[in-house]
């Protein structure tokens, strides 16, 4: 067995160490800390600075215990067990008890004891342990140390210094776990305090964890400060909807309002951490929601309607369109909801025009997912990342796009020597923090770089490539691909070739929480649930059996993806406009059923909006107003995650089930709405409730039949780039203008400012320095941002994909790999 | 016992701090000798001499050097702790001013013995004159070929870096010193690993006091037996005793270990004329005080331990009857509170509390129960803090209470200033009387 202790290299345990704690013998692995051994016996030694995921510091001295043979009491959090060691804790040792009471008395002399107004009151380790291990009254009658209160460590994190017990959990978290050592202890003695440097703000995607692990009320979040007392909260274990990391959370509710979310203890997934987006971005579900169904009145205005009226209009429209309906869904869907769309499309509408990828995508991606991802068992896993000899990332910036993958990689890099390589144009901040090395790829050239890894010798000139290629062939090696590779033709084919050639485990890390579930639910053209090819008779028979329909009624050939659907609508429109007799033109797409798609997320937002305008009938299942609801014939409001139970499959494929937070919620899940629609269409569909949907999903079981071959697309020729042109690299930063981050201004204020990354040579050419404006433009528009000179290829510019002042898809009509013009200054 | 001027032999010469002055008396002559033998022989010689660390703890130097793993493929470092900051301690700084080359030469022998090619001299930041002296001495040694590459053709390289601290007492704690030297905040490190295994830059490191290192050339030159003729079996050698306080001639008196305080007082001209000894402290404020009845106990590591105190830095402070014990303890408490690094709770909070409590005794506003409370606070610090600084802060009160309880009782109604005129205890008061 292998155990890992923070700050210590993992040790392989060959035999246990037997010690006694309070007279009871226990055998634990070598390297175990006394405090952990005592925990296993149910002896809780009080502690503040100790945290099982942080390296010991033994600073607070609260956990002092008596160890036979030692003249002084010893900190249980820092002493490792030894054979025959006799430990006596406060339970049996007067010395230990006195030492702990003494430390507690000291901790309280400078503590304000303002528990009645402190957010931590009621869930405070200091408060709790003062009651269990302290004296009833303080003997301190002097003058306490005070500080002006509070100070902003960041826009979100507030610090009341007088409450701090200098345990250094926050600073150690920032330094060890997040790799953002921008808070540290300053000053000395009783004046010691947590602070930031004047020129380096606490710029961390993980800052909220410091609030959670603070054992006193010194660190609070602007989001939650003074909002509630812990004993007034109702807590529900939930799963984060913001990305495919799958973090376990605890959602705390007071009077039907979500007040905060905490990272929950999920050792296999997020350990005890989460990112600030998952922690603080939940305001979107509280404001601006659709509350009632809406339909078009005679004048074409959207007006509130009753559910039966809206249902009957929606059903009528869909009945008319039938299999000429396309079903487009977005990344917010749970596994169960995605499954219902998948089933509704095939069994009710008889269409296979289904796509969950509301983002730039490709047909090659469908082939890739069908062959290598859909319906596959869990893995590679977080644990495998931590122990892999190498993890190669391609088209994936882990810190921005899957923060828990990033934290695991950092843990692995720091403690077990995991080597990380990234196929990217440059080393982002997150890559540096995992000691990652860049296998430099201009956007579009990812396939070529990956192919050089498949063939161990071809990249011989590049030492990093050679090492990555060698390590990928070691057992346990992992290759992780991000959704961005779909924008780089041939790259996913190349990734499949690398995995096959090297034997490395291949993981697909989409950015959104719902994508892996939607894939496995078959919410994509060509695939039925569980990765079953729709072209397979056996697969259709299995699906038809579960759905209780005639197999012949299911579409037997792959449908169109989102891009093809949009193109078809717009082509029909064109044909109608050109036709002498428009009524002769039969539209191939007559209705759209859309849930969770945002126009600006797509490769071509304008074409999508044009299709929305043109399509004869549009039904929208949505939480909030959008471009789609504005154009829909029928708008049906659906539940946000806190209002329903569900499951997200994280990037590993691990089911992450969560419970309903608002048990009294009146909103309906997408599944329930689709079930009602199906009933209105007289189709056999089931109730769409969580239990029956999960039951159906379970009855599908695994698919053992044939699968599509992995794609074998060859990379395209490298495009020629003019002297004032560069290739655009772009992805979304974790904190940006994403719709699910609306309503959280403190969080928004901690987002990283938009910059345009260019190489030093390019900067010289443009006569700009870091901080000076550069303008990136196309025929569609231009973006001007401060330059950030970066070690990267000269013919690449990087822009954030959806940050303040930078949304290249919308403004430039350009995405990852497209060619754009660049110039210095403001144009 | 007579004085034994060895380290101090030539301090009265005007050029004692220069390489010329040092070499005139054989300085650096032993460098080729030790570089010509196997490093283990140097360690063996120092072990044989029984030299114990002069920084306060008295750990056997040769044994410390022997802990450094060999052939481990890592660089080794020698660090000289010249952060002399203990109240009452004033021996390393005079040594660095008067004879810095003895320190530099000691570094050469020590670094060679432990296979270090880099040595650092970490000097208290408040003494820039000492930093200048040592820096100049190191430059002279480089110029003369005793430092740098291939010293005297031996193939041994040694670079010495003189580093000035930034004014923190805690950096005299060896692991805090290492953190400070690495550019971090000076706070003690968790042990294990010990510096001999993972010290400076996580590499094997030996940390020695200035006086300890300055002793090395004399041992190399004269041998272990010569060294052991001084002192006692358990405390061999000689010591810079820096006598301060209410004596006629405060200063450094170099004598064999085992010399008594009564003898040192005689060398120092006795207690100020017209006054009598009230109490004394053998080695810095961090060790328990002693009374006149203890004057005849030999000043050795073992005999001081026998009295429940420590030889410490060997820098006795002498207090006559004009001294308010309460005020003295209060000053030290202020010092420890000011210098607590803040890392651990007992020291950070305990010194903060103790300072306020002692101020009450000093002001005459304490209550009788405070006497016990302070005692308990000290017990809650001692043995529970992260490093020895907390222990040091908790040390002075108990013996003071034991010997002078009535002064603390008086602190419940009368201020220390009323009981003991602060002016009477000053040097200028004595001068005026004369």
A 154-183 near B (Cβ less than 8 A): 165-166
Residues A523 and A493 grouped into a single domain: no
Q: Among positive and negative, which fits the CA dihedral A483, A489, A491, A492?
A: positive
Task: Determine the average pLDDT of the residues in B348-361.
Answer: 97
Residues A27 and A90 grouped into a single domain: yes
Residues A635 and A691 grouped into a single domain: yes
Residues A521 and A449 grouped into a single domain: no
pLDDT at B180: 97
Q: What CATH number does the domain containing A434 carry?
A: 3.40.228.10
In a domain, A714, yes or no: no
pLDDT at B430: 58
Q: With an 8 Å Cβ cutoff, is B348 touching chain A?
A: yes
Using an 8 Å CB-CB cutoff, list chain B residues near A140.
353
Concatenated DSSP letters of B98-155: H-HHHHHHHHHHHHHHTTEEEEEEEE-TT-HHHHHHHHHHHHHHHHTTSSBSSGGGSS
- The mean pLDDT of chain B is 96
Closest chain A C-alpha to B51 CA, distance in angstroms: 26
Concatenated DSSP letters of B376-412: HHHHHHTTTSSSHHHHHHHTTHHHHHHHHHHHHHHTT
Give which of A787, A752, A753 is closest to A770, Cα–Cα: A787
Q: What CATH number does the domain containing A629 carry?
A: 3.40.50.740
- CB pair distance less than 8 Å for B344 and A61: yes
Terminal Cα distance for chain B, rounded? 31
pLDDT of A12 higher than 80: no
Angle between the A335-343 and A670-680 helix axes, to the nearest 10 degrees? 20
pLDDT at A665: 86
Using an 8 Å CB-CB cutoff, list chain B residues near A64.
384
Question: B267-308 pLDDT, tens per residue?
Answer: 999 999 999 999 999 998 999 999 999 999 999 999 999 999
Domain boundaries B19-223, corresponding CATH code: 3.40.50.11540
Task: Determine the average pLDDT of the residues in A43-58.
Answer: 97
pLDDT of A295 higher than 90: yes
CA distance A268 to A290: 36
CA distance B52 to B48: 11
Using an 8 Å CB-CB cutoff, list chain B residues near A62.
345
pLDDT of A781 higher than 90: yes
Domain ranges within chain B, ordered by starting residue: 19-223, 238-320, 325-433
CA distance B33 to B154: 10
A 83-122 near B (Cβ less than 8 A): 98-99, 102-103, 105-107, 109-110
pLDDT of A462 higher than 90: no
pLDDT of B162 higher than 80: yes
The answer to whether the CB of A765 falls within 8 A of the CB of A725 is: no
pLDDT at A458: 56
Residues A541 and A671 grouped into a single domain: yes
Tell me which of A58, A108, A164, A189 to substitute to probe the interface with B (most B C-beta atoms closer than 10 Å): A189
Q: With an 8 Å Cβ cutoff, is B365 touching chain A?
A: no
Concatenated DSSP letters of A631-662: H-SEEEE---GGGS-EEEE-TT--EEEE--S-
The parent domain of residue A169 ranges over: 115-285
Provide the pLDDT confidence category of residue A457 given band limits of 50, 70 and 90.
Answer: low
| Residues ≥6 apart with Cβ < 8 Å to B173 | B188, B387, B388, B389
- Give Dmax over CA atoms of chain A in angstroms: 101
Concatenated DSSP letters of B319-352: EETT--HHHHHHHHHHHHHHH--SSSHHHHHHHH
pLDDT at B433: 53
Question: A685-701 pLDDT, tens per residue?
Answer: 999 999 999 999 999 99
ipTM of this model?
Answer: 0.95
- Give the residue from chain B lying closest to A184, CA to CA: B185
Q: With an 8 Å Cβ cutoff, is A338 touching chain B?
A: no
Task: Determine the average pLDDT of the residues in A805-823.
Answer: 95
Can B19-223 and B238-320 be said to share one CATH topology?
A: no
Q: Please tell me what DSSP assigns to residue A63.
A: T
Provide the pLDDT confidence category of residue A11 given band limits of 50, 70 and 90.
Answer: very low
Residues paired with A595 in a beta bridge:
A329, A621
Nearest 5°: CA angle at A445, between A443 and A450?
120
Element (H, E) at A536: none
- Domain B325-433 bears CATH identifier 1.20.1440.230: yes
Q: With an 8 Å Cβ cutoff, is A62 touching chain B?
A: yes
What does the H/E/C string look like for A722-780? Answer: CCCEEEEEEECCCCCCCHHHCCCHHHHHCCCCCCEEECHHHHHHHCCCCCCEEEEECCC
Residues A240 and A144 grouped into a single domain: yes
Residues A452 and A429 grouped into a single domain: yes
Task: Determine the average pLDDT of the residues in A638-656.
Answer: 97
B26, two tokens: 């054989």
Provide the pLDDT confidence category of residue B2 given band limits of 50, 70 and 90.
Answer: confident
Final residue in a domain of this structure, among A91, A109, A127: A109
Task: Determine the average pLDDT of the residues in A707-714.
Answer: 92
- CB pair distance less than 8 Å for B345 and A106: yes
Q: How far is CA A640 from its chain centroid?
A: 17
Closest chain B C-alpha to A464 CA, distance in angstroms: 26
User: Pick from A61, A184, A187: which is nearest to B345 by CB?
Assistant: A61
B398, two tokens: 């108990």
Provide the pLDDT confidence category of residue B255 given band limits of 50, 70 and 90.
Answer: very high
Tell me which of A103, A161, A193 to substitute to probe the interface with B (most B C-beta atoms closer than 10 Å): A103
| Residues ≥6 apart with Cβ < 8 Å to A136 | none
Tell me which of B172, B349, B370, B383 to substitute to probe the interface with A (most A C-beta atoms closer than 10 Å): B349
The answer to whether the CB of A616 falls within 8 A of the CB of A590 is: yes
In a domain, A292, yes or no: no
Q: What CATH number does the domain containing A745 carry?
A: 2.40.40.20
The answer to whether the CB of A657 falls within 8 A of the CB of A240 is: no
Task: Determine the average pLDDT of the residues in A160-172.
Answer: 97
User: Pick from B342, B349, B373: which is nearest to A139 by CB?
Assistant: B373
User: Pick from B351, B352, B384: which is nearest to A99 by CB?
Assistant: B384
Residue B249 burial by Cβ neighbours in a 10 Å radius (0-12, 13-18, 19+): exposed
Task: Determine the average pLDDT of the residues in A650-670.
Answer: 95
Q: What CATH number does the domain containing A126 carry?
A: 3.30.70.20
Question: Left if phi > 0, otherwise alpha if psi is -120 to 50, otherwise beta: which for A344?
Answer: alpha
- Give the residue from chain A lying closest to B359, CA to CA: A142
Residues A26 and A157 grouped into a single domain: no
Provide the pLDDT confidence category of residue A7 given band limits of 50, 70 and 90.
Answer: very low
In a domain, A303, yes or no: no
Examine residue B193 and say whether the peptide bond preceding it is cis (omega within 30 degrees of 0): yes
Closest chain B C-alpha to A88 CA, distance in angstroms: 16
Residues A749 and A797 grouped into a single domain: yes
In a domain, A294, yes or no: no
| Residues ≥6 apart with Cβ < 8 Å to A302 | A294, A295, A296, A629, A630, A632, A635
Give which of A238, A233, A237 is closest to A254, Cα–Cα: A233
Question: A591-630 pLDDT, tens per residue?
Answer: 999 999 999 999 999 999 999 999 999 999 999 999 999 9
Task: Determine the average pLDDT of the residues in A717-746.
Answer: 93
Between A582 and A52, name the one with better pLDDT. Answer: A52
Residues A252 and A329 grouped into a single domain: no
User: Pick from B350, B373, B383: which is nearest to A106 by CB?
Assistant: B350
How many domains does chain A fold into? 5
Residues A472 and A530 grouped into a single domain: no
Closest chain A C-alpha to B360 CA, distance in angstroms: 10
Closest chain A C-alpha to B377 CA, distance in angstroms: 8
Domain boundaries B238-320, corresponding CATH code: 3.10.20.600
């Amino acid at each position: 067995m292998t155990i890992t202790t923070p700050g210590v290299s993992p040790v392989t345990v060959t035999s246990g160490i037997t010690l006694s704690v309070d007279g009871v013998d226990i055998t634990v692995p070598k390297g175990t800390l006394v405090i952990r051994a005592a925990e296993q016996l149910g002896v809780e030694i009080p502690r503040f600075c100790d945290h099982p995921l942080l390296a010991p510091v033994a600073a607070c001295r609260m956990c002092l215990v008596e160890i036979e043979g030692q003249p002084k009491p010893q900190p249980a959090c820092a002493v490792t067990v030894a054979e025959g060691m006799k430990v006596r804790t406060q339970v049996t040792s007067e010395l230990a008890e006195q030492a702990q009471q003494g430390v507690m008395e000291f901790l309280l002399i400078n503590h304000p004891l303002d528990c009645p107004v402190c957010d931590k009151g009621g869930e405070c380790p200091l408060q709790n342990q003062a009651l269990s291990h302290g004296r009833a009254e303080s003997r301190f009658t002097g003058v306490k140390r005070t500080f002006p209160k509070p100070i902003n460590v960041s826009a979100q994190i507030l610090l009341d210094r007088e409450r701090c017990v200098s345990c250094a959990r926050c600073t150690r978290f920032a330094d060890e776990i997040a790799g953002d050592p921008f808070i540290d202890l300053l000053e000395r003695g009783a004046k010691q305090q947590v602070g930031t440097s004047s020129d380096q703000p606490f710029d961390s995607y993980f800052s909220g964890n410091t609030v959670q692990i603070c054992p006193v009320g010194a660190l609070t979040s602007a989001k939650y400060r003074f909002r509630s007392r812990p004993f007034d909260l109702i807590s529900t274990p939930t799963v984060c909807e913001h990305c495919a990391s799958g973090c376990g959370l605890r959602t705390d509710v007071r009077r039907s309002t979500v007040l905060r979310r905490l990272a929950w203890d999920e050792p296999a997934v997020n350990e005890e951490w989460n990112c600030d987006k998952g922690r603080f971005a939940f305001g979107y579900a509280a404001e601006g929601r659709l509350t009632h169904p809406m339909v078009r009145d005679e004048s074409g205005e959207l007006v509130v309607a009753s559910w039966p009226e809206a249902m009957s209009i929606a059903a009528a429209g869909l009945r008319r369109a039938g299999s000429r309906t396309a079903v487009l869904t977005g990344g917010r869907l749970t596994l169960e909801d995605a499954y219902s769309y998948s089933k509704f499309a095939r069994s009710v509408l008889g269409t296979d025009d289904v796509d969950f990828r509301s983002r730039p995508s490709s047909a090659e991606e469908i082939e890739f997912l069908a062959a290598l991802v859909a319906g596959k068992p869990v893995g590679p896993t977080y644990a495998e990342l931590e122990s892999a000899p190498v993890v190669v990332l391609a088209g994936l910036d882990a810190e921005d796009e899957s923060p828990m993958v990033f934290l695991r990689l950092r843990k692995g890099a720091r403690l077990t020597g995991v080597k990380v390589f990234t196929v990217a144009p440059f080393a982002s901040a997150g890559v540096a923090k995992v000691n990652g090395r860049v296998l430099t790829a201009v956007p579009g050239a990812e396939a070529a770089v990956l192919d050089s890894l498949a063939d161990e010798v071809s990249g011989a000139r590049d030492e990093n490539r050679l090492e990555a290629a060698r390590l990928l062939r070691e057992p346990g090696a992992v290759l992780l691909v991000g959704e961005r590779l779909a924008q780089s033709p041939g790259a996913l084919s190349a990734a499949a070739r690398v995995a096959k050639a090297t034997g490395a485990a291949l993981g697909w890390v989409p950015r959104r929480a719902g994508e892996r579930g939607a894939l496995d639910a078959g919410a994509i053209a060509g695939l039925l649930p569980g990765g079953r090819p729709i072209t397979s008779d056996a697969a259709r028979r299995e699906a038809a059996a579960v759905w209780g329909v005639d197999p012949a009624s299911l579409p037997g050939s792959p449908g169109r993806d989102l891009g093809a659907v949009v193109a078809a609508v717009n082509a029909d429109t064109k044909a109608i406009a050109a036709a002498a007799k428009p009524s002769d033109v039969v539209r191939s797409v007559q209705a759209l059923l859309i849930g969770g798609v945002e126009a600006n997320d797509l490769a071509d937002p304008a074409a999508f909006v044009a299709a929305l305008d043109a399509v004869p009938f549009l039904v929208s299942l949505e939480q909030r107003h959008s471009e789609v609801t504005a154009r829909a014939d029928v708008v049906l409001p659906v539940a946000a995650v806190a209002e329903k139970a569900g499951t997200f499959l994280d990037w590993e494929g691990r089911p992450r089930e969560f419970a309903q937070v608002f048990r009294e919620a009146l909103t309906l899940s997408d599944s329930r709405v689709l079930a009602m629609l199906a009933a209105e269409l007289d189709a056999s569909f089931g109730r769409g409730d969580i239990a029956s949907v999960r039951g159906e999903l379970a009855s599908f079981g695994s698919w053992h039949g044939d699968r599509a071959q992995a794609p074998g697309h060859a990379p395209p020729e490298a495009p020629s780039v003019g002297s004032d042109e560069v290739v655009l690299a772009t992805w979304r930063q974790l904190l940006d203008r994403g719709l699910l981050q609306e309503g959280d201004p403190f969080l928004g204020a901690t987002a990283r400012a938009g910059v345009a990354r260019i190489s030093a040579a390019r900067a010289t050419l443009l006569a700009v320095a870091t901080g000076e404006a550069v303008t990136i433009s196309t025929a569609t528009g231009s973006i001007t941002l401060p330059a950030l000179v970066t070690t990267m290829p000269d013919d690449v510019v990087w822009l954030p994909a959806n940050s303040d002042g930078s949304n290249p898809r919308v403004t430039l009509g350009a995405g990852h790999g497209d060619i754009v013009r660049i110039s210095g200054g403001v144009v | 016992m007579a004085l034994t001027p060895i380290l101090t032999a030539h301090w009265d010469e005007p050029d004692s701090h220069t390489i010329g002055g040092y070499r005139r008396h054989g300085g650096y002559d032993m460098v080729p000798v030790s570089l010509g033998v196997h490093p283990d022989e140097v360690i063996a010689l120092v072990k044989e001499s029984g030299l114990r660390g002069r920084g306060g703890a008295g750990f056997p130097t040769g044994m410390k050097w022997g802990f450094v793993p060999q052939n481990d493929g890592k660089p080794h470092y020698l660090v000289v702790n010249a952060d002399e900051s203990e109240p009452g301690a004033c021996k390393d700084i005079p040594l660095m001013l008067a004879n810095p080359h003895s320190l530099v030469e000691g570094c050469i022998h020590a670094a060679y013995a432990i296979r270090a090619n880099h040595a650092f001299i970490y000097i208290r930041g408040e003494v820039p004159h000492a930093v200048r002296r040592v820096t100049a001495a190191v430059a002279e040694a480089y110029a003369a070929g005793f430092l740098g590459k291939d010293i005297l053709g031996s193939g041994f390289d040694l670079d010495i870096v003189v580093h000035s601290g930034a004014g923190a007492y805690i950096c005299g704690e060896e692991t805090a010193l290492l953190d400070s030297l690495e550019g971090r905040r000076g706070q003690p490190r968790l042990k294990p690993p010990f510096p001999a295994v993972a010290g400076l830059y996580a590499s094997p490191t030996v940390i020695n006091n200035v006086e300890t290192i300055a002793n090395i050339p004399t041992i190399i030159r004269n041998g272990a037996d010569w060294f052991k003729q001084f002192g006692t079996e358990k405390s061999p050698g000689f010591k810079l005793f820096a006598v301060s306080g209410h004596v006629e001639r405060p200063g450094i008196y170099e004598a064999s270990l085992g010399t008594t305080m009564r003898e040192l007082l005689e060398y120092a001209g006795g207690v100020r004329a017209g006054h009598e000894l009230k109490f004394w402290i053998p080695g810095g404020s961090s060790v328990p005080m002693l009374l006149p009845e203890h004057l005849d106990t030999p000043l050795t590591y073992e005999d001081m331990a026998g009295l429940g105190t420590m030889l410490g830095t060997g820098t006795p402070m002498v207090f006559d009857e004009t001294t308010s014990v309460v005020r003295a303890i209060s000053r030290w408490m202020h010092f420890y509170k000011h210098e607590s690094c803040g890392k651990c709770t007992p020291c950070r909070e305990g010194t903060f509390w103790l300072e306020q409590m002692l101020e009450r005794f000093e002001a005459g506003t304490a209550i009788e129960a405070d006497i016990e409370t302070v005692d308990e606070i000290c017990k809650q610090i001692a043995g529970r803090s992260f490093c020895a600084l907390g222990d040091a802060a908790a040390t002075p009160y108990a013996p003071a209470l034991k010997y002078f309880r009535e002064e603390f009782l008086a602190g419940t109604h009368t201020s220390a200033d009323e009981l003991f005129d602060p002016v009477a205890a000053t040097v200028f008061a004595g001068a005026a009387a004369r």
